[in-house]
Amino acid sequence: MSRAYRISIKESLSQHVQVEDGVSSTLELLPILQKERMRELLAAELTQRGFVRDGAQARRREANGVEVEVDLETGQVSATIEGHQDVKLETERAAVVDELVKEEREAALRRAAQAALAREAKAEEEALRKQATQKLEATLRELKGELDGVVNRVTATALKARAAELGQVEEVHEDANGGLTIKVRV
């Protein structure tokens, strides 16, 4: 006659989860002046908006952790975010088993518990990734308008400089909608 045993196992999982997400696009700057001069105008405008220049890059870290980087040579804009989280999970499993299959059933319970912990950890990682992506998307909505303004200011400054190269600037008029009229005597 075999005896029945009650087995109980406890498993835990601790791991550090790190997720990253990012997007990139390109600023559309018209080649009004020489490339080097356009780059300097872009760098100056970005610096006024809180970017820090590092060689051919301009960087700014947003309050929510999004890192924005502009390549001054190519106009490539990259926005990236990282998320970190320590995950600590525990689970318990119990079963009543026959003495003859005690070892196998205990091993099966451990495998099931470990698989459940792995699924929970994956769900935590996915939730962290989703949260990071939402922060990135919110920042991009705000950043798009700001970068459009940067491009408009750089273009206006470049047009004024180009007009001065062509002749004597008699009048400059900028309207509230971003329109620019430059009167030049050649």
Instruction: Give the mean pLDDT per block of 10 residues along the chain (186 residues).
Output: 82 92 91 93 96 95 94 94 92 86 89 94 92 89 91 90 86 81 82
Instruction: Return the structure tokens found at 123.
Output: 């769900």
Q: Cβ distance 93 to 113 under 8 Å?
A: yes
pLDDT digits (tens, 9 = 90+) for 85-105: 999 999 998 888 887 888 898
